[in-house]
Amino acid sequence: MSFKILDVPTTSISEVKKSPTIIFKKAEKENTPVYVFNRGDVAGVMLTQEQYESLTNEIEVLHEQVMDLVVAQRLAIKDLELFSDEEVRGTNADQFLTIDENDGWE
């Protein structure tokens, strides 16, 4: 089996121990994460705060898109069995719910 050589910046654990700041600057300059090797194996990946936040934001957007697609797919089902509020919540369905405007939800 042949492995593809990564075309990304790399460094060693020793270099990270000497100066992590240099590695972060390298990641910023190259605008890509830096793979950290320890004795030939990848020990981890270093990236700047901006890179990390960008990745987590992108993941969040992708999760929302997947959920939107799942909902659209479920709504497209024509013979979907529906249940009333009372069937789902039981006798609590007719009780008035108090709405807390400061509950943290939008």
Q: Is 66 inside a domain boundary?
A: yes
Mean pLDDT of 78-102: 81
The three-state DSSP-derived secondary structure of the chain is CCCCCCCCCEEEHHHHHHCHHHHHHHHHHHCCCEEEEECCEEEEEECCHHHHHHHHHHHHHHHHHHHHHHHHHHHCCCCCCCCCHHHHHHHHHHCCCCCCCCCCCC
Per-residue pLDDT tens for 70-83?
Answer: 999 988 988 888 88
Q: Is 84 inside a domain boundary?
A: yes
pTM above 0.85, yes or no: no
Q: Tokens standing for 90?
A: 């039981």
CATH classification of the domain holding 61? 3.40.1620.10
- Identify which has the larger pLDDT, 92 or 47: 47
Q: How many domains does the chain have?
A: 1
pLDDT at 86 over 90: no
Q: Is 105 inside a domain boundary?
A: no
Range of the structural domain that residue 46 is part of? 1-99
Per-residue pLDDT tens for 8-56?
Answer: 899 999 999 999 999 999 999 999 999 999 998 999 999 999 999 999 9
pLDDT of the residue at 4:
56
d(CA 73, CA 95): 32
